[in-house]
Amino acid sequence: MIYVVGSYNLDLLVRVERFPEDGETVFSKEIFSGHGGKGSNQAVSASRLGGKVKLTAAVGNDDIGKNALLFWDNEKVDRSNVKVKNTKTGNALIIIDKEGRNRIIVNRGANFLLSPEDVDVSRSKEEDILLTQMEIKENVVFKALKEFNGIRILNPAPSIISNKEIFNYVDILTPNEVEFKELAPADDIRSGLELMLKKVRKAVVLTMGDRGVILATKHKKVEIKAVRVKALDTTGAGDVFNASLAYALEKGMDLDEAVGFANAVAGLSVTKEGALGPKMDEVKLFFEKINMKIP
């Protein structure tokens, strides 16, 4: 079982030729809305691969929240621990340029009302996976990590963490480059990795976009190159990576295999619009195309 504790947002996506400068107005090429939030993205992306996923999140008592509940049902995500709060559902504004790069502004809404009392991971087992992020309150993340009985993955996005004790309960930390520099201010990547490896229990997986991934443990450091693709939309690539990593670990892959698998699936995800990952049938076809075997 994969337990995801995190956020849900309604995403409003705006496509532009380029990002505006300070005080500048640019015209959008396209605007559309979709389901988002790191918790929901990761839960749905793991489910699409075939994982059994249980989500803990919060939505508002509005139409957006009602639609989110139906969305998770359709995506075969167990939403029995999703809480409906007396407020508006969270939302996010995402601006995407012609290169597929993005800028994101989030209004947390109901996400901010998710409380430690809403978290129940007491039935988790040693072989289960926890995947959580920082778009919800820090004390909620802390409780989930501390009480979980299996492998615990923290995607520190955003990387605003005041209680450093959190890292004592993290098995695998998965920052991107911006988050990594904020968490481990050091002169170089190697020094930063050594600093973070003293804080977490097992590994740091540093995602670097089109430059691939670095997997670091106390015994080794492995660099995995990104698959070569034409990026259309990088929104949610990190969420797809984390979901795929959790899925692979839950299926019994070792950490090296799981990171390689997640790296490739995230590469496939940026060739399509939206923040949600591909289904396993698409993954299998893509792996055949790039001459890569699923472990």
CB atoms within 10 A of CB 188: 8
Question: What are the tens digits of pLDDT across the range 95-148?
Answer: 989 887 888 888 989 999 999 999 999 999 999 999 999 999 999 999 999 999
Q: Does residue 101 sit within a domain?
A: no
235 has a pLDDT exceeding 80: no
**What is the bridge-based pairing of β-strands 102-107 and 91-96?**
antiparallel
Domain that holds residue 49: 2-7+37-89+113-289
Enter the tokens of residue 168: 């004592």
- The pTM of this model reads 0.92
50 is in an annotated binding site: no
Q: Does residue 149 sit within a domain?
A: yes
234 has a pLDDT exceeding 90: no
Q: What is the CATH classification number for the domain harbouring 138? A: 3.40.1190.20
Q: Could you say which of 128, 239, 254, 256 is catalytic?
A: 239
Q: Does residue 177 sit within a domain?
A: yes
124 is in an annotated binding site: no
Q: Does residue 229 sit within a domain?
A: yes
What does the pLDDT read at residue 219? Answer: 92
11 is in an annotated binding site: yes
232 has a pLDDT exceeding 90: no
Distance, in Å, from the CA atom of 57 to the CA atom of 40, rounded to the nearest integer, reads 8
Q: Does residue 194 sit within a domain?
A: yes
Residue 102 vs residues 14, 178, 256, 262: alpha-carbon distances, Å: 10, 14, 29, 21
Question: What are the tens digits of pLDDT across the range 173-212?
Answer: 999 999 999 999 888 999 999 999 999 999 999 999 989 9
Q: Does residue 155 sit within a domain?
A: yes
How many structural domains is the chain composed of? 1
179 burial via Cβ count (<10 Å: 0-12, 13-18, 19+): buried
Distance, in Å, from the CA atom of 284 to the CA atom of 266, rounded to the nearest integer, reads 13
Q: Does residue 52 sit within a domain?
A: yes
What average pLDDT score do residues 36-59 get? 97
Q: What confidence tier does 270 reach under pLDDT thresholds 50, 70, 90?
A: very high
- From 184, 230, 183, 226, select the one nearest 208 (Cα to Cα): 226
Q: Which residues contact 161 (CB under 8 A, 6 or more apart)?
A: 134, 138, 183
Q: Does residue 15 sit within a domain?
A: no
Enter the tokens of residue 106: 């989030």
Whether 239 is catalytic is: yes
149 is in an annotated binding site: no
Name the percent of the chain lying above pLDDT 90. Answer: 81
Mean of the per-residue pLDDT values of the chain: 94
